[in-house]
Amino acid sequence: MKVTYYGHSCFLVEGNGKSILIDPFLNGNPQTSASPEDFKVDAIILSHGHGDHFGDCLQIASVNECPIIATYELAMYCQSQGVKVHPMHIGGSFQFEGFKVKLTQAFHGSSIEHDDQTIYTGMPAGILLTINDRTFYHAGDTGLFGDMKMIGELNEIDLSALPIGDNFTMGPDDALIAAEWLQTKQVIPIHYNTFPVIEQNADEFALKLEENSITCHVLASGEVVEL
């Protein structure tokens, strides 16, 4: 499994002949120079509907003729915009050709701004993406919650993407607890330094994680972790 970071909460995950894009916030993302035209993918997975995660998914899905995988309400909104979808919901899993997706709970919100209206798009989600025998957990936007212990007990997580920005999500201290509860082998901090209100020192977070024998990768856009 090859995991490439594109700033904020966006990842390209490749393996088993498949390419899956998660939360493709590219245009307007100050942390990346990548653009929607750069991606040839087999599927897009959305954690929730907020613009800094929904991003450029409709354009990319349309050009690639690939499905957007999301919770039911968000998937139905995407379908109404003319793209292919695969609706799922919290706790459900599906074996796609070459990869498996399971959605977990996340404590946050989910909505889309459309024609000056706020459209509710159901529950937010975390994502367990498994390719062959490697599992990547993308927590989405979430606060710390006790069932992260259960997620860690039920799944062997090789790599986790955990928000550390605070204000809208977990901050660094809660993310340290989350990493322990998840029993994850490695962590990539996400959802920080994109906007002033979520500025954090990821290097300090990494040092604290490594004191607990958890490898931390502080990545710039385009950098890769291979499992």
Exposed e or buried b per residue across 25-57, where buried means at least 16 C-beta atoms within 10 angstroms of its C-beta: bbeebebbebebeebebbbbbbbbbbebbbbbb
Residue 25 is predicted with a pLDDT of 98
Q: 31 phi and psi, to 5 degrees?
A: -90, -5
Token output for 151: 């997620």
The answer to whether residues 98 and 14 touch, using CB atoms and an 8 Å cutoff, is no
The answer to whether residues 103 and 22 touch, using CB atoms and an 8 Å cutoff, is no
* pLDDT at residue 50 tops 90: yes
Gap between the Cα atoms of 224 and 62, Å rounded: 26
* pLDDT at residue 114 tops 90: no
Average pLDDT over residues 162-190: 98
Residue 168, domain CATH: 3.60.15.10
* pLDDT at residue 95 tops 90: yes
Q: Total structural domains in the chain?
A: 1
pLDDT tens digits for 62-90?
999 999 999 999 999 999 999 999 999 99
pTM of the model: 0.98
Q: Is 109 helix (H, G, I), strand (E, B) or coil?
A: coil
Q: Which domain holds residue 218?
A: 2-226
Half-sphere exposure of 166 (CA within 13 A, CB side): 14
Average pLDDT over residues 132-137: 97
- Give me the sign of the Cα torsion angle 49, 114, 74, 30: negative
User: How far from 206 is each of 107, 203, 218, 224, CA to CA, in Å?
Assistant: 24, 5, 7, 17
Nearest in space to 158 (alpha carbons), one of 125, 124, 132: 132
